[in-house]
Amino acid sequence: MSLLINSWEEQSLSAPVSPGHCPLSAAGRPESLVFLGSLLPSFRMSLPPPQKKKKSIALVVLILQIILDQQSTLLQVEILDAKTREKLCFLDKVEPHATIAEIKNLFTKSHPQWYPARQSLRLDPKGKSLKDEDILQKLPVGTTATLYFRDLGAQISWVTVFLTEYAGPLFIYLLFYFRVPFIYGHNLACICHSFHYVKRLLETLFVHRFSHGTMPLRNIFKNCTYYWGFAAWMAYYINHPLYTPPTYGAQQVKLALAIFVICQLGNFSIHMALRDLRPAGSKTRKIPYPTKNPFTWLFLLVSCPNYTYEVGSWIGFAIMTQCLPVALFSLVGFTQMTIWAKGKHRSYLKEFRDYPPLRMPIIPFLL
């Protein structure tokens, strides 16, 4: 049998090649078959084995499942009036990671009269307002979130409020100062009073970074009544022709001026330190600590040294002028700033577990 095969191979090799004839390889097989045979291993390698097929199918199924899960986890949000419980808006297919600010923007589209700054959304009709940065999926709500809406009323920016509050006393005092024909040594008081409010105006424009963009419009009338009214009252008495100078004369004025200047510098230093804690455009809250500036070292003892310095400035001005309206203005301001300082102090203690325990709200070791 082997002899027959060998002879056949020899004849095939020696035979002339005719057109259309498939030549043989040295092994006696057609070369085309040899070429195809050489391709078979690579062809087999290109085909995915059964295990890889199963993994590919499982991956596709997983991706489809994730897509379906995302679609199924979209939330619904209904917004009710906090007073009447009337349904005001229904939002369908809301992303779980949507913020309250984004929901306010969606609500505004159906109720343009209630712009976001005017809205207060809460989980309970009598509960606290939710923060704009709160995320929907982190709130205790189900697939259908019920939020209650309250109208905060017309809003005005804090910058406008401060500019209005502080510009009034500045011009009112100067009005009394220049309109009174007889001036008896009140130049220093006018300079100090004007410096204080010019400083406040410049800080409002270039230093302060507000955590809330607006406040109710009605508050500006109350605030302006306080600042403008006291400014007129103080200016009337200090610049009156019958005004009497301080009891201890120049020594009392110099001491009061030193207190006033130191406290004004301290107040400005604290405002700059607080500004550096909050990046522009953010609502980040951090624990304020003293810096290299010695005026900021009061942070070691109180939570709101800016209020401490502010009260100190007005005490110095009261000593300088020895005027009852100034003393009353200082007392009322101290009372209000104490309320603000206590509120901020409680917020610090609640938000930061490592908050320095030695600090008091406004007066070291006392209050």
The per-residue pLDDT for range 270-303, each reduced to its tens digit, is 999 999 888 776 777 899 999 999 999 999 999 9
Whether 242 and 336 share a structural domain: yes
Whether 109 and 182 share a structural domain: no
214 beta partners: 157
32 within a domain of the structure (yes/no): no
121 beta partners: 149
pLDDT for residue 52: 59
How far is 168 from 145, CA to CA, in rounded Å?
46
Whether 199 and 325 share a structural domain: yes
Residue 9: how many CB atoms within 10 A of its CB? Answer: 15
Q: Is the distance from CB of 329 to CB of 274 less than 8 angstroms? A: no
pLDDT for residue 176: 82
Res. 336: pLDDT tops 60: yes
The amino acid at residue 294 is P
How far is 101 from 166, CA to CA, in rounded Å?
31
pLDDT, the chain, mean: 83
Residue 71 has which token pair? 């679609």
Write down which residue in 129, 153, 177 finishes a domain. 153
Nearest in space to 238 (alpha carbons), one of 196, 185, 198, 278? 185
How far is 314 from 234, CA to CA, in rounded Å?
12
Whether 255 and 315 share a structural domain: yes
Is 78 exposed, middle or buried (CB count within 10 Å of its CB: 0-12, 13-18, 19+)? middle
How far is 220 from 243, CA to CA, in rounded Å?
32
pLDDT for residue 38: 53
227 within a domain of the structure (yes/no): yes
Whether 325 and 278 share a structural domain: yes
Res. 29: pLDDT tops 70: no
Between 350 and 209, the more confident residue is: 350
317 within a domain of the structure (yes/no): yes
- Condensed to tens digits (0 to 9), the pLDDT of residues 140-153 reads 888 889 999 999 98
Structurally, how many domains does the chain consist of? 2
296 within a domain of the structure (yes/no): yes
Residue 89 CB partners (closer than 8 Å, separation 6+): 78, 79, 106, 107, 110, 111
User: Whole-model pTM?
Assistant: 0.68
For residues 105, 109, 110 and 114, what is the CA-based torsion angle, rounded to 10 degrees? 60
Whether 134 and 176 share a structural domain: no
What is the SS3 assignment for 35?
helix
- Condensed to tens digits (0 to 9), the pLDDT of residues 157-210 reads 888 888 988 998 998 888 888 865 444 446 899 999 999 999 999 999 999 888
Whether 273 and 162 share a structural domain: yes
The amino acid at residue 22 is C
How far is 198 from 204, CA to CA, in rounded Å?
10
Whether 80 and 211 share a structural domain: no
How much of the chain, in percent, has pLDDT values that exceed 90?
Answer: 55
Domain with 76, as residue range(s), is 72-153
164 within a domain of the structure (yes/no): yes
Is 157 exposed, middle or buried (CB count within 10 Å of its CB: 0-12, 13-18, 19+)? middle
E strands, the chain, are: 75-81, 87-94, 119-122, 144-151, 155-157, 214-216
pLDDT for residue 311: 97
Res. 217: pLDDT tops 90: no
Res. 239: pLDDT tops 80: yes
What mean pLDDT do residues 248-259 have?
94
Nearest in space to 188 (alpha carbons), one of 257, 136, 279? 257
Which helix (DSSP H) or strand (DSSP E) does residue 335 occupy?
helix 324-351
Res. 1: pLDDT tops 80: no
CATH at residue 108: 3.10.20.90
By mean pLDDT, which of 24-33, 124-133, 210-219, 328-337 is the weakest? 24-33
205 within a domain of the structure (yes/no): yes
pLDDT for residue 8: 38
pLDDT for residue 210: 80
HSE, side-chain direction, 13 A CA sphere, residue 55: 5
Whether 273 and 248 share a structural domain: yes
How far is 98 from 134, CA to CA, in rounded Å?
9
- Condensed to tens digits (0 to 9), the pLDDT of residues 84-122 reads 999 999 998 888 889 999 999 999 999 999 999 999 999
Whether 188 and 266 share a structural domain: yes
pLDDT for residue 180: 52
What mean pLDDT do residues 208-216 have?
80
pLDDT for residue 278: 82
Whether 99 and 218 share a structural domain: no
Phi, psi of 356 (to 5 degrees): -55, 120
51 within a domain of the structure (yes/no): no
52 within a domain of the structure (yes/no): no
pLDDT for residue 51: 61
Phi, psi of 360 (to 5 degrees): -110, 165
Q: Is the distance from CB of 310 to CB of 271 less than 8 angstroms? A: no
pLDDT for residue 39: 46
Whether 141 and 287 share a structural domain: no
